[in-house]
Structure 1
């Protein structure tokens, strides 16, 4: 896990946020999911090691379920391969340009 020492230090805030998400019906969200969101989205352009603890906790606590769910949906779409069931011939046929004469 990336920045494990910071994660362990702010785990109570992450657990609090997970509990809040559960109140809204998002029962499958885990602490690691919230941490991964913050690393990849909130802090992607920051040096997490140089952030102050109160900044990290503030970012975690102000996370909304809508922000988190939008992120997870986009990530799922990025990771899914819509054409995985097609063999190479079917994929070529699908992506081949149409003849205008037909």
Structure 2
């Protein structure tokens, strides 16, 4: 689904975005911004067949959970780290570091 039509209502649903942002902040996720919530709502709407009505957009924003946000952040992190090691050269260097033990001074604590 194309989420372009929802862009017109971004200003109209700003109170919902602010409310959801403040909710996340109350739970300790203070780095969450309105833009993050908007982007996540757009991703969710792309996966669903919803009517192009403002109440569908508000519902998508208000039903976002911290779990949804953390899943999105985790997936983005995995994709970023995978892209760093996507080339054979980078992977080879990583394996070489592991085999030679040059990375043995790093601890996973």
> Normalized against structure 1, the TM-score is what?
0.71
Structure 1's unaligned 5+ residue stretches are 95-102
Q: List alignment gaps of at least 5 residues for structure 2.
A: 96-109
Distance of aligned partners of 1:82 and 1:93 in 2 relative to their CA distance in 1, 3 Å threshold: closer
Structure 1's consecutive aligned runs of 4 or more residues displaced over 6 angstroms after TM superposition are: none
Which secondary structure state, in structure 2, belongs to the residue aligned with residue 29 of structure 1?
A: coil
Distance in 2 of aligned mates of 1:47 and 1:90: 40
Alignment partners' CA distance in 2, 1:74 and 1:89? 21
Q: Report the secondary structure of 2:85's partner residue.
A: coil
Instruction: Give, in whole Å, the separation in 1 of the partners of 2:24 and 2:59.
Output: 16
Q: Does 1:34 align with 2:31?
A: no
Looking at structure 2, the residues matched to 33 and 62 of structure 1 have their Cα atoms a distance apart, in angstroms, of 14
Cα drift, residue 47 of structure 1? 7.1
How many residue pairs get aligned? The number is 90
Aligned: 1:83 with 2:75: no
Checking the alignment, whether the CA contact within 8 Å between 1:83 and 1:91 is kept in structure 2 is no
